[in-house]
Amino acid sequence: MDNHGKKMIAPVVIVLCIMLYYIAGIYVLLTTDMPNMVKVTAIIVSIAITAVLIKVLIERIQEIKKGEEDDLGKY
């Protein structure tokens, strides 16, 4: 595995862990006895956060491929 591949492992693992957390939360919401409005709102928020996570992950992978590993060095 090249150097860029190694640098992509951590962001991918972190995003997958967070996504599994939200998926588990959605499952718990669907199996509990709560008002439907609360369930729908929580599910929409979870899906929105997951979508943002995926977008940020894609941007980070593109940055790593371009060689911009340390964004903080720009500031």
Tell me the pLDDT tens digit for each residue of 28-40: 888 888 898 988 9
Report the alpha-carbon distance of residue 42 to residue 36 in Å, rounded.
10
Q: What is the pLDDT of residues 20-67, one digit of tens each?
A: 998 898 888 888 888 989 889 988 998 899 999 999 999 988 888 887
Count the domains in the chain: 1
**Domain span at 50:** 3-67
The backbone region for 34, taken as left when phi is positive above 0, alpha when psi lies in -120 to 50, beta otherwise, is beta
Half-sphere exposure of 75 toward its Cβ, with a 13 Å CA cutoff? 3
User: 58 lies in a domain?
Assistant: yes
Q: Which distant-in-sequence residues (6+ apart) come within 8 Å of 46 by Cβ?
A: 22, 25, 26
User: 73 lies in a domain?
Assistant: no
User: 74 lies in a domain?
Assistant: no
Element at 44 (helix H, strand E): helix 36-66
pLDDT at 68: 62
User: 46 lies in a domain?
Assistant: yes
